[in-house]
Amino acid sequence: MKCLTVVGAKPQFIKAAPMSKALAGQGMEEVLVHSGQHHDDLMSDAFFRELGIHEPDYNLGVRGGTHAEITGEMHQRIEAPIRDEKPDVVLVFGDTNSTRSGDLAAEKVHVPGAHVEAGLRSYNRRMPEEINRVVTDQLSTLLLCPSAESLKSPEQEGIVSGVHEVGDVMADVNRIVAAGIPEISEILGQLGAQAGDYLLATCHRADPERLTSLLSAFGQLSDLVVFPVHPRTRLAIESGGFKLAPNIRPVDPVGYPDMMTLLKNTRLLFTDSDGMQKEAYWLGIPCVTLRDETELVETVERGWNRLVGADRSKIIEEVEKGRPPTGRPLLYGDGRTAQKCAALIAELTQSLD
């Protein structure tokens, strides 16, 4: 049995780590294809090293251009290793251009696709990620959903087979890494930050109007704001001539253990990342989501996640609120999601023999 796995962005590298081990446990050969979507060393190579993922068998080097140009080139380049390797299944993660291109390339050469994190919806079609989710789910043979809520959208969209609730593979990684954070990260000492005395912010939706509001809000806070800056966001800040307030400390993108250390020790997280919303919940850190909607409605319902968009006054207001009064029931898996996914993938490939 052979699985061709397509990755391209930081969260996908992280998710590939437990999945690779689980696929090997099922006796499957894995071919790893890196689209090249995240090509900065701090956003890709470092993650392969830190998480023990084997080097990609193919690095396609696709980068730059419009969404249409990127997805078109990815589709073309991913199709070649699929034809050459003749896998039994193509595995994709999440909602990036690499996800949609990998699944579409598989469909075009009649190889079944498996989608990890299927079924999530923001119901905002202006987000390119939302289009990627919908298209990928329609094309996939196996939809591996992280929650009961995410089972609803495939059914509403007419997908009636191959849909499974398995949990989230990020829960597997989070439990492993969180337990060893004090031993593997020195990021707080490097930044001169004290646990509980700073706020953490991430932002990769970098249009000028949003950035103006967000950076203005952060600058009005009395707290230190540690700000690992996505390369796209850094480019927008530099090209737009933005001046950061003294309390905002921009840092280069950090590795996963360092990011988990920053998250575990912050007082509050600001983010527009769905992955960071989940990880904040698992670690018991209040989250303020810099969007008007979220795919992770369960975290909002339980009081650990608040939606503020790019509203400056709401951002400032949320800092003054205390920790949520509610508990944190288990969400998105029990730490064995990768094993469940790999078993279903193996079952699918065996059924095709």
The residues that are catalytic are 204
Q: How far apart, in Å, do the first and last CA atoms of the chain sit? A: 10
Whether the Cβ atoms of residue 40 and residue 253 lie closer than 8 Å to each other: yes
* Rounded Cα–Cα distance for residues 239 and 102 (Å): 32
Please list, in sequence order, all residues whose beta carbon lies within 8 angstroms of the beta carbon of residue 172, skipping any fewer than 6 positions away: 18, 333, 335, 336, 337, 338
Structure tokens at 347: 């079952």
Whether the Cβ atoms of residue 197 and residue 267 lie closer than 8 Å to each other: yes
* Rounded Cα–Cα distance for residues 218 and 280 (Å): 19
Rounded to the nearest 10 degrees, the angle between the axes of helix 10-25 and helix 337-351 is 60
* Rounded Cα–Cα distance for residues 63 and 71 (Å): 10
Query: Which is nearest to 53 in space by CA: 330, 280, 255, 317?
Result: 255
Element (H, E) at 334: none
* Rounded Cα–Cα distance for residues 287 and 299 (Å): 9
Q: In what side-by-side order are the strands of the sheet with 305-307?
A: 248-251, 224-228, 198-201, 269-271, 287-289, 305-307
Structure tokens at 71: 């997805």
Query: Which is nearest to 330 in space by CA: 298, 291, 307?
Result: 298
